[in-house]
Chain A
Amino acid sequence: MVDLVDSNKGTGNVLELVGDSRAADATEDSFEALYRQRYRDVYRYALLMLRRPDEAEDATGEAFDRAYRAWQLGRKPAGPALPWLLLITRRLVIDKLRRRRLISWLPIGALGPRREPSEEPQTGRSEFWIWFEKFAQELPGRQREVLILRYQRDLDDESIGEIMGLSASGVRSLSARACATLRRNPEIWQ
């Protein structure tokens, strides 16, 4: 049986997985703080990588679920928590991209990036996604990812490298190539 969901007896946030309830509370408190602090960072990364709000929400929820399990087992991040969370999220994002079927069908007239129907009227949203499509069209995946991560709370090269499985010099090299691409496409950054 799939047991992703812990029992909830109406008290809102009581978890019963850990034998020692005091330890559980302490873990819960500190992880909850991390969750509140970093949820938007993780969601933003997942959204920009997947470009689908529903999948971004899935990935974010699953990332925190995995992080929580690791946290409970004592496998907390040695350094800052954000790269650790983004590394977990990145694996889920890649997994989702790979699992995503090669093909999907849309009726004629609905071509273009998939959008939530309720989001159509929001002009700002459309403008951003139109820009992002162009951004994604010109920058290859990893160059794009480096720029996205760099503006995730100003992550440094080492942290980005930790997330992407690269050395710091590899990150700088990717950044330089991204800059070269941007220079050829001024409409992206102007």
Chain B
Amino acid sequence: MNKPTILPSETSDAEMLAGVRRHLIEAEQFVPQPPRWTRTETASRVRPVLRSRMAFGGFAPLILIVVVVALAVGYYGLGSRPAGPGAAVPTTNLSGSVMEITYRLAPADGRQPSEADLTHVASALSKRLSFIFPLMVDAAGKPAPGQTTGYEVITAAPDEVVVRFQADYTLVDYTAVEGPLVMDADWIRASIGLTGVIEVVGLPVLPALGNLVAGQAPLLSGGDFDGWQASVGAGAEPDSYGITLTKAAAERLAAYALANPRQYLVVLVDGRVFATAPVSGPSSGSALTLPVGAGLSQQNAATLGLLLANGSLPTPVTEVSATLIGPSPMPRPSGPGSIPTPILAPSTSPGAQASQYAPSTAGATAATSPNLSPAAQASPTAASSGAG
């Protein structure tokens, strides 16, 4: 007769859940007693949301005001401001540790950039920085006064734009509920100088992030993108970000996914691999969903959000210099040339910049994408295991 085998004891689900419950109960100390119920008092704690109570007609006065202000600013304000050296958009008082980056506009069609080109690039860079900086808060969590504090953009004729921004703040992504994500001055440096041409291509093999992919006809490009949405925490598993698409683009993507079930969708920024996601099956939604993981870092997700929200630069720029001015609060050596390389540096070769957007006519991916990692080219299966 066989003796019963004694297995090593394993913790039961109930025991584990009881442990979790024991911890969760500690949250009770932070749950207040209900305030006295009156709709007045309860609702006064609700920040009013205009959208929920106003029909489109209600926005008419607001739109009128915005138009009038925009016209006034255009006529009397920024529009009449000289765009030569020293013209700042906007002017701010920077203090403490400041990063100064000088960008040079790439010659377009063999001609030197005009003053208008300089102004357009300065405006675009300013727009990107204004997207980043309004939420700057101080140590007490109070928003910084003014919506344009923290940066300045100055044109320097004939072909340079100087960007200065407060470098002693660190970006913390709270939508990544799995923990704070640190993005700092280096992230800004790596992000704002990108031209920001976003394309999505389909590839049979998984390219390495950062590689240049040239000569691929894009499946999706500029006009196909409708926006950017984060799906983190409560609503998704795993956390993911989505590039929302126009209806026609979504249909094109669905057709592609149906016909190419084993391929990879690759998001290119300025021709370089920025995010990847395997085609997981037929697509029916209106967004290209990119799960956070091996195929998309949180930093790149933030950069994609920045670029999609603010558009591409009208003229590519190259970084001439980057200098950290003033005290460095971070464990980072200061001075020109000592700043770490950006996550994805903008192309420094105008020739390469131009050629990487040349439309593809034919050819296998391996041939047209010489920068695919050897491992990826040799073993698509092994490479794909790291995706998304």
Contacts and interface: CB of A to CB of B under 8 A. Distances in A.
Interface of A: 1-8, 12-13, 15, 31-32, 35-36, 39-40, 43-44, 47-49, 51, 53, 57-58, 61-62, 64-65, 68, 90, 93-94, 97-98, 100-114, 116-117, 124-125, 127-128, 131-133, 135-137, 140-143, 145, 147-148, 150-151, 179, 182-183, 186, 188-190
B19 interface: yes
A43 B32 contact: yes
Interface string B176-213: 01111011000000000000000000000000000000
22 contacts: A2-B53, A5-B40, A6-B43, A12-B36, A39-B33, A44-B31, A47-B27, A94-B234, A100-B175, A102-B306, A105-B171, A106-B141, A108-B330, A117-B141, A128-B26, A128-B30, A136-B177, A140-B239, A141-B234, A147-B24, A150-B17, A183-B11
B42 A65 contact: yes
B23 A112 contact: no
Contacts of B325: none
B301 to A, nearest CB: 8
Contacts of B140: 117
Interface of B: 11, 13, 15-21, 23-40, 42-50, 53-54, 132-133, 135-141, 144, 168-175, 177-180, 182-183, 229-239, 301-302, 305-306, 329-330
B19 A90 contact: no
Contact of A3 (B42, B53, B136): B53
Given A43-B31, A103-B173, A141-B239, A179 B42 contact: no
Contacts of A106: 137, 139, 141, 169-170, 172
Contact of B17 (A58, A124, A147): A147
Given A141-B235, A182-B16, A186-B11, 16 more contacts: A5-B39, A7-B40, A39-B33, A43-B32, A58-B47, A90-B234, A98-B229, A100-B175, A102-B173, A103-B171, A109-B329, A114-B174, A124-B29, A142-B234, A143-B237, A148-B24
A53 B183 CA distance: 25
B40 A151 contact: no
Contact of A49 (B168, B179, B233): B233
Given A151-B21, A179-B16, A190-B19, A104 B233 contact: no
Contacts of B13: 179
Contact of B39 (A2, A68, A104, A188): A68
A23 B170 CA distance: 55
B27 to A, nearest CB: 6
Nearest to A68: B39
Nearest to A69: B39
A172 to B, nearest CB: 11
A135 B23 contact: yes
A38 B145 CA distance: 39
A12 B175 CA distance: 39
Give 8 closest A-B pairs by Cβ, nearest first.
A189-B19, A39-B34, A105-B136, A61-B45, A2-B48, A8-B40, A13-B38, A104-B135
A124 B26 CA distance: 8
Contact of B175 (A6, A57, A97): A97
Contacts of B18: 189
B17 A179 contact: yes
A131 to B, nearest CB: 5
B233 A97 contact: yes
A40 B50 contact: no
A107 B169 contact: yes
Nearest to A14: B38
B281 to A, nearest CB: 19
